[in-house]
Structure 1
Amino acid sequence: MTEATFREEICRFGRSLFERGLTPGSSGNISLRLDDGGWLVTPTNASLGFLDPGRIARLDAQGQLVSGDPPTKEIPLHAALYETRAGARAIVHLHSSHAVAITMLPEIDPKAVLPPMTPYYLMRAGQTALVPYFRPGDPAVAEAIKGLAGRYSSVLLANHGPVVAGESLEAAVFATEELEESAKLYLLLRGLNPRYLSPEQVSDLVRVFGLTLPEHGEHNH
């Protein structure tokens, strides 16, 4: 794809996410890594529903602004995920309601935020880590992400929202949507003693689809 096509793709997916209420107002941001090591990044204080492809920030490989509007203040967050997830080509960060909600629950396991409820949660998002609260734009969040050592493609920021990396923008968007729907399912089922996928069923998914899931202990949900 050309850079112009990538810019259009960011606008198209951003509008879709916004129109379905997955990130309100001017919240959320998207980045896409280019072949030369530079990035395209949505601007600061921009609504994902009303992006202008010509104003999307173009950064060089060192993260310096080359053209377009000033980028989101969440650059340290994106940079840390790209640094630790070698195959990542795009990152989506939203303020989606259900994913934010589960970050505030006391029983959440930071190493596996959600239990294995559905095959597509594991196939799209893998497992999800929870990192502690940092104010938006705090460079310290980068160290927390780096501490996960690239084991997770989907991360929840406490009291803030999901950050998901993918091999393409489409993959990152689909994984973010799957994470949000899984969080919604968890909240709907909370306290009802639901039947999750068994370890054998999870192992079957890993074998058949070649999934790479971080090692974790037993779920206590």
Structure 2
Amino acid sequence: MTSSPKPSRRTMNSEEERLQLVSTARILHDAGYSPGTSGNISVRIGDDIIVSPTGTRLGSLNADNLSMVDLNGDYISGSKPTKESVMHAAVYRARPLDRVVIHLHSPFATALSCLKGLNSNDALLPLTPYYIMRVGRLPIVPYFAPGEKSLAAAIEHAAHDSHAILLANHGTLVSAPTFEDACAATEEIEATARLFFTIGERATNTLTARQVIELLAKFQ
């Protein structure tokens, strides 16, 4: 009995997933979550990663002009990839069931990443059930220059325990099995960070430890 041939890279790069990547990127850009050419997005197809190119606005991506890298973040084909493709590859190595990674410099989450004194295991308080349901927790990775291999190593370590990460003085990094889930978690981090700054120093009711555990057991 002969085995089935291994799918070629051309076969694996489905047009539908490229279009989904472009559509999701535009949604995030139009929401104001990726100023200028900041932020990047990717989808994993087998052992290949389709990622947004360097120096390109998320709102102006083209399905035919994306980049392809491998699971080490090394260039394969297409446009020149973002230098942060190594971060995406690190997440996929740590979380083989996740297929989408979104990295943003959204305003409130990035402001949060610049604060001192945050809980390094979870930068945000459990203000709403939706934060727990969609994000779970938000550990902080210390600052490294964008694109550095040391940053990728720190991300790979953190991603084993969390699909959402806050990069100090940088932004957010979120992974999920689908575009919809990754986008929802990314938006929830920004919404919760905005609540955090809006509440400020006022006395705050947060979810109890028991409520958090119940939500995690049901939705994570």
State the TM-score, normalized to the length of structure 2: 0.90
CA distance in 2: counterparts of 1:163 and 1:180, whole angstroms: 12
Q: Identity, % of aligned pairs?
A: 38
Which SS does the other structure have where 2:64 is aligned?
Answer: helix
Q: Structure 2: 5+ residue runs without aligned partners?
A: 1-11
Verify the 8 A CA contact 2:84 2:147 in the aligned structure 1. Answer: yes
* 1:98-137 correspondence runs (5 A): 98-137=108-147
One-letter identity of the residue aligned with 1:172? A
The residue number in structure 1 matching 2:6 is: none
The residue number in structure 1 matching 2:19 is: 8
Which SS does the other structure have where 2:50 is aligned?
Answer: strand
Q: What is the CA distance between 1:117 and its match in structure 2?
A: 0.9
Counterpart pick for 1:91 among 74, 81, 101? 101
The residue number in structure 1 matching 2:4 is: none
User: Is 1:145 aligned to 2:147, yes or no?
Assistant: no
Q: What is the CA distance between 1:149 and its match in structure 2?
A: 5.6
Residues 199 and 62 of structure 1, relative CA distance in 2, 3 Å threshold: closer
One-letter identity of the residue aligned with 2:132? L
Q: What is the CA distance between 1:176 and its match in structure 2?
A: 0.4
The residue number in structure 2 matching 1:48 is: 58
One-letter identity of the residue aligned with 2:168? A
Q: What is the CA distance between 1:190 and its match in structure 2?
A: 2.0
Q: What is the CA distance between 1:186 and its match in structure 2?
A: 0.7
Deviations along 1:93-152, one digit per CA (max 9) or x if unpaired, are 000010011112222111111111111111111100111111111111012113326101
One-letter identity of the residue aligned with 1:89? R
The 10-residue stretch of structure 1 (39-48 or 147-156) with the greater mean CA deviation from structure 2: 147-156
Q: What is the CA distance between 1:51 and its match in structure 2?
A: 0.5
The residue number in structure 1 matching 2:76 is: 66
Residues 149 and 184 of structure 1, relative CA distance in 2, 3 Å threshold: closer
Residues 9 and 195 of structure 1, relative CA distance in 2, 3 Å threshold: same
Q: What is the CA distance between 1:63 and its match in structure 2?
A: 4.0
Residues 104 and 65 of structure 1, relative CA distance in 2, 3 Å threshold: closer
Which SS does the other structure have where 1:128 is aligned?
Answer: coil
User: Is 1:24 aligned to 2:40, yes or no?
Assistant: no
The residue number in structure 2 matching 1:203 is: 213
Q: What is the CA distance between 1:83 and its match in structure 2?
A: 1.1
CA distance in 2: counterparts of 1:143 and 1:208, whole angstroms: 31
Which SS does the other structure have where 1:40 is aligned?
Answer: strand
Verify the 8 A CA contact 1:29 1:92 in the aligned structure 2. Answer: yes
* 1:116-195 correspondence runs (5 A): 116-148=126-158, 150-195=160-205
The 10-residue stretch of structure 1 (52-61 or 161-170) with the greater mean CA deviation from structure 2: 52-61
State the TM-score, normalized to the length of structure 1: 0.89
Residues 193 and 9 of structure 1, relative CA distance in 2, 3 Å threshold: same
Aligned length: 209
Which SS does the other structure have where 2:155 is aligned?
Answer: helix
CA distance in 2: counterparts of 1:2 and 1:76, whole angstroms: 19
